Copies of this chain bind each other. A is one copy, B any other.
Amino acid sequence: MRDPLPVTGAWRPGDPPGRRQFLTIATQRPIALEGGGQLRDVTIAYETWGDLDADAGNAILVCHAWTGDSHATGQSGRGHPTSGWWEGVVGPGRGIDTEHFFVVCANVLGGCQGSTGPSSLDPATGRPYGSRFPVVTVRDMVRVQAALADHLGIRSWFSVTGGSMGGMQALEWAITYPGRVRSLVPIASGLAHSAQQIAWGAIGRRAVTLDPKWRGGDYYDAEPGEGPHAGLAVARQIAQITFRSDGVFTDRFGRQMADRDDTFELWQRFEVERYLEYHGEKLVRRFDANSYLWISKAMDLHDVGRGRGGPERAVARIGAVPTLVVGIWSDVLYPAYQQRHIVDLLSTQGTPAEYVEIDSPDGHDAFLIDTEQVGAALATFFERVEKGP
């Protein structure tokens, strides 16, 4: 029998750091968060690849999605249970060429792979925040990343990019710090979470809370094996369907059975069910249920126009920053019309924005799967930006 799962899949201080580096900010006074809460002693876990130019002009910030972390590229090993989530895009000679660029990726605020999140110790109590962790927004994530940029001596990024929530961060970067972003590549993302995206987020959160082992968010003291694994797994399975596509599921699984079916049983599984279970269990081993909830809420709160007089006025702040918006035709979660809308809005506000569509049946996850197309689009765009207008 396997050992019981740890209560949380979060990386904890004392675990092997792997390639992570750490910066702690807000040690003197807390950060005031957009939603009204505050945090102090905020740790940012990050990784870098390549060398920073003397004038710090070749830095690219890669922003991760919901369950990503700082390990954008590189092998698995001590401290990194999985290989990099953008392995095919970031590396020597790849779309984001680490022989040419200095690449930075930080675990988001609210995350669970070294940056401060719900599983971190609250300095006020010495115990995990759990249910007391404040709501954070994509803007809060970006503000913390700006402190990291300061620390690294990066006045402005050559580019900020990412898919899904990574794209939300990229947009917020260019809007919050227009002078600090010289080009911008949001992928499979939008200007604000739509009602359907909120609905999917809310449903995943409700699924976690159905699990009595979630204990209102304060489960960190439970015995091994007693974490909210079942709830998190179901939440992930829901998301997994929206991340892929009808066509890919049909091609890959069809109506194939995983279990014997000489007689019919209620819990007999089709192959697609086994696939979903596999993805649920995989996430549980490397992720924290509360981080899943808090980050999901941050995405639902994503709205570049909030407090800025609407989306038009918000994106007008981006100015003349060259922007490549990438969509995926088979994406049902962040449909391509939302990316085209970004381009339209940016164009009317005077931003040189272009649109590239990934030709992939893989749905939303194509930005993680079809890395050759994504990398090629990035490389072509970066080359053009470097040449200048």
Interface residue A230 (Cβ < 8 Å from any Cβ of B): yes
A266, A269, A273 — most chain B CB neighbours (10 Å):
A266
**A155 → B minimal CB distance (Å):** 31
A106 to chain B, nearest CB (A): 22
Q: Are B264 and A135 in contact (CB under 8 A)?
A: yes
Q: Are A294 and B272 in contact (CB under 8 A)?
A: no
Q: How far is the CB of A348 from chain B (nearest CB, A)?
A: 20
Measured CB to CB, the closest approach of chain B to A247, in angstroms, equals: 9
Q: How far is the CA of A338 from the CA of B301 in the complex (A)?
A: 36
Q: Assess A264 versus B335: contact at CB under 8 Å? Given A199-B276, A249-B195, A273-B198.
A: no
- A222 proximal to B (CB < 8 A): no
Q: Which residues of B contact A135 (CB under 8 A)?
A: 264-266
Asked if A83 CB lies within 8 Å of chain B CBs, one says no
Residues of B within 8 A of A303 (CB): 255
Chain B residues near A210 (CB-CB < 8 A): 207, 210-211, 230-231, 234
List, in ascending order, chain B residues with CB within 8 A of A297's CB: 264, 266
A137 contacts B by Cβ under 8 Å: yes
Residues of B within 8 A of A21 (CB): none
State whether the Cβ of A200 lies closer than 8 Å to any Cβ in chain B: yes
Which of A211, A250, A271, A273 has the most chain B CB atoms inside 10 A of its CB?
A273
Contact of A194 among B193, B200, B250 (CB under 8 A): B250
| Interface membership of A263, Cβ < 8 A | yes
The smallest C-beta distance from A339 to any residue of chain B, in angstroms, reads 14
User: Chain A residues in contact with chain B, CB under 8 A?
Assistant: 34-37, 135, 137, 192-196, 198-200, 202-203, 205-207, 210-212, 230-231, 234, 237-238, 241, 245-246, 249-250, 252-255, 262-266, 269-273, 276, 293-294, 297, 300-301, 303, 332, 335
